[in-house]
Structure 1
Amino acid sequence: MSRHADEAPMRARVPADIERPDRIAFGLSGRQLVILAVTGLLLYAAWTAVATVVHPLVFAAGGLPVAAGAYLLAVGRRDGSSLDAWVLAALRHRRSPRRLVPADGPVIPAPAWVATTAGPGDRLPLPAPLRLPAKGMTGDGLIDLGADGTTGLVAASTVAFGLRTPGEQNGLVAGFARWLHSLDGPTQIVVRAQRVDLTYLADRFLAAAPGLPHPALEEAARAHVAFLDDLAGQRELLHRQVTVAVRSRRGAHHAAHHAAEAVRALAGCEVPARVLDGADAMVRLAASLDPTAPALTPHATSDGGDNL
């Protein structure tokens, strides 16, 4: 037995605050300092305006909630975002229209004689045009996000991590950590699971069984069909699809380069992967936008495709 066989699985430390803004003073970022400074100046201006008519204790009682709210707004966090950004996003969501329709331009108002039974003035608000983040897709499968840059999609497979020795697990973890540390742009790993229906495979095997050249092969095919039916009845099978999206603001060339680098880095972790071309990227995006679509037919792949 080798020396590495008894090693405990290694843990690689990956910083989770790589996008944290720089601290300028007192452990606070520039945004936090601006919020606190503006609040302090407003309170000071209000005190100088009413100092002759309001008792200091009364002003302190009224200004303390304002100062506390500004402090929470500056240093608080919610769902991984700063509290001020979260509040602004909530306000934008509140003011944005709820009904969106695909349209190239503004939605044409309905005729005046069209009446509704709900909404302000007995009329429902008009739907707004649906604006998707993607502006288009190139033949190479790169997604144009407009001002947000370009995204490339990589289809990745999975690794039987639990079946590896501790030494092999350490190597996989170290390789994956090196890839994460090498990232210099936004990267997202999406794992999507769907129920798998084995009826398609069972029907194909059953239809092909009578044409097999030997009765033993036909018997084996029918036994395999029975096995698939029994497996589908006893277990809930899932079809797992792993997609890595890499984005770059420096143009399509850099996005394609980052996608190719992701494939090479994942290959070092023994993860089969490939860059999706235009047709495959379109199919994968369409599937992600329709979660209720029928599951894909399960099949074994060796090029970084989908797995059961």
Structure 2
Amino acid sequence: MERADRIAFGLTGRQLVILTVTGLVLYAAWTALATVVPPLVFIACALPIVGTAFFVAVGRRDGLGLDVWLLAGLRHRRAPRRLVPSEGPVTPAPAWISTTRGPGDRLPLPAPLRLPAKGITADGLVDLGPDGTTGLVAASTVAFGLRTPAEQNGLVAGFARWLHSLDGPAQILVRAQRVDLTHVADRILAQAPGLPDPALEDAARSHAAFLDDLAARRELLHRHVTVAVRSKRSPGHTAHQAAETVRALSGCEVAASVLDPADAAATLAGALNPSAAPSPSSPPPGRPVPDTHGDEQL
């Protein structure tokens, strides 16, 4: 867990820089205006500036420092809205094409799309170019609330050991995907006539009707958990980190597996387009054996 160091007065270096620069600017302004501006007037004008600087320095939004959040919003505001795949700069449209949008009645050009991932290696690693490689691990969930306090302590200790073993950045991505049970019901109905006993056929048809009714009344979701470990060293080191993640999580009773190239590509595609429904003919990519102890997740 990367957290900025507290340097003085419980403030980080970034916060101290913001407050120090604000103080120096106000001091310089007071030095220049002391002979012409009354002190009370200067203090009244300076208080909103000090309050704003303090709010920006110590405030947080969405887990980020407010200054970082505002800077990200400014970059987003100035960034192009349309991106297209291109190896180089986008070629301008011919001069005889004119529109009524954009400056000078010209439609703004799209910018080249630059994705951080360059491709997927034969080992299933995501190639990030100069930023190294990333290994993807599919993991199941654990029924934490149904365990005894001793078992819970053991699970937390095992998870902590994995965190302490990390020597590079890691990310845990939990995505909720819709589950369509109608294709399961159709398969049960298609195979029901071939069952050896009429009672089994009736039970199969009843179960298919239950699945259809459940799909019609409830919006069913499946949690798909992916652990990403990144390293700027050799791809072999990243693969070793992914394998160690599988081993460490197995001590927490988490069923995990390293994704192969096909499953890694499907996982990236799903992350880039989360609204797309998974194929009904196959489970989510890299899905391990689900936990059967309950629904509460760790």
- In the alignment, structure 1 residue 21 sits paired with structure 2 residue 7: no
Higher mean alpha-carbon deviation, 277-286 vs 24-33, is at: 24-33
1:304 pairs with one of 272, 288, 291 = 288
Q: Gapped runs of 5+ residues in structure 1?
A: 1-17
Match of 1:89 in 2: 72
Match of 2:229 in 1: 246
1:39 pairs with one of 17, 22, 28 = 22
Note closer, same or farther for the CA distance 1:218–1:56 as it changes in structure 2 (3 Å cut).
Answer: closer
Count of paired positions:
291
- In the alignment, structure 1 residue 266 sits paired with structure 2 residue 257: no
- TM-score using structure 1 length: 0.81
Contact 2:84–2:111 under 8 Å retained in 1: yes
For the residues of structure 2 that align with 1:300 and 1:20, how far apart are their CA atoms?
Answer: 34
Instruction: Give 1:110 shift.
Output: 1.1
Match of 1:76 in 2: 59
For the residues of structure 2 that align with 1:111 and 1:300, how far apart are their CA atoms?
Answer: 45
Note closer, same or farther for the CA distance 1:72–1:250 as it changes in structure 2 (3 Å cut).
Answer: farther
For the residues of structure 1 that align with 2:223 and 2:11, how far apart are their CA atoms?
Answer: 42
For the residues of structure 2 that align with 1:47 and 1:124, how far apart are their CA atoms?
Answer: 48
Match of 2:296 in 1: none
Contact 2:138–2:286 under 8 Å retained in 1: no
Match of 1:276 in 2: 259
Secondary structure at the aligned position of 2:224 is classed as strand
For the residues of structure 2 that align with 1:290 and 1:214, how far apart are their CA atoms?
Answer: 45
Contact 1:155–1:305 under 8 Å retained in 2: no
- TM-score using structure 2 length: 0.84
Contact 1:149–1:247 under 8 Å retained in 2: yes
Contact 1:43–1:63 under 8 Å retained in 2: yes
- In the alignment, structure 1 residue 129 sits paired with structure 2 residue 123: no
Contact 2:140–2:225 under 8 Å retained in 1: yes
- In the alignment, structure 1 residue 194 sits paired with structure 2 residue 153: no
Contact 1:190–1:242 under 8 Å retained in 2: yes
Q: Gapped runs of 5+ residues in structure 2?
A: 293-298
Match of 2:39 in 1: 56
Note closer, same or farther for the CA distance 1:292–1:63 as it changes in structure 2 (3 Å cut).
Answer: closer
Higher mean alpha-carbon deviation, 159-168 vs 79-88, is at: 159-168
Match of 1:183 in 2: 166
Contact 1:158–1:271 under 8 Å retained in 2: yes
Match of 1:293 in 2: 276
1:148-196 deviations in Å (ceiling 9; x for gaps): 4322110011223344444433322332233334434332222222222
For the residues of structure 1 that align with 2:286 and 2:264, how far apart are their CA atoms?
Answer: 18
For the residues of structure 2 that align with 1:256 and 1:152, how far apart are their CA atoms?
Answer: 6
Match of 1:143 in 2: 126
Match of 1:206 in 2: 189
2:87 pairs with one of 84, 98, 104 = 104
Note closer, same or farther for the CA distance 1:121–1:253 as it changes in structure 2 (3 Å cut).
Answer: same
Q: Report the residue type matching 2:128 in the other structure.
A: L
Percent identity over paired residues: 73
Instruction: Give 1:263 shift.
Output: 0.8
RMSD, aligned CA: 2.9
Secondary structure at the aligned position of 1:43 is classed as helix
